[in-house]
Amino acid sequence: DQQVKQNSPSLSVQEGRISILNCDYTNSMFDYFLWYKKYPAEGPTFLISISSIKDKNEDGRFTVFLNKSAKHLSLHIVPSQPGDSAVYFCAASGTSYDKVIFGPGTSLSVIP
């Protein structure tokens, strides 16, 4: 049973446009959500997070939106740059932060 879902395996976006990556979760006990970025041959790198008490968190070009009632979150990248091309993992954890559950990832390609 996959608790964190990313239904789009891949996404292509033109440089300068907005990239929107979506994520759904099933476990209502999740209280903290994270996005990680992964380049080939490297481990995942933390990108941005959001607590369930918020519905938006922004860090530079990256914004994460959380809709708790829909159990849905999204990552917006504006403007998209070729260096953003990577696999993006949505992840979630409970309040005790003992482990993080990852989605399957979305491969983003930003086309120059």
Partner 1 sequence: DTGVSQDPRHKITKRGQNVTFRCDPISEHNRLYWYRQTLGQGPEFLTYFQNEAQLEKSRLLSDRFSAERPKGSFSTLEIQRTEQGDSAMYLCASSGPGGIDTEAFFGQGTRLTVV
Which positions touch partner 1 (CB under 8 A)? 4, 6, 9, 31-32, 34, 36, 41-46, 49, 51, 89, 91, 95, 97-105
Closest distance to partner 1 from the beta carbon of 90 (Å)? 8
Closest distance to partner 1 from the beta carbon of 67 (Å)? 19
Residue 43 or 112: which CB sits closer to partner 1?
43
CB-based contacts of 60, cutoff 8 Å, min separation 6: none
Closest distance to partner 1 from the beta carbon of 47 (Å)? 9
Distance CA 55, CA 37 (A): 21
Residue 57 or 79: which CB sits closer to partner 1?
57
Residue 4 or 110: which CB sits closer to partner 1?
4
- CA dist list (Å): 90 to 16, 19, 65, 111: 23, 14, 12, 22
- CA dist list (Å): 48 to 1, 4, 55: 25, 16, 13
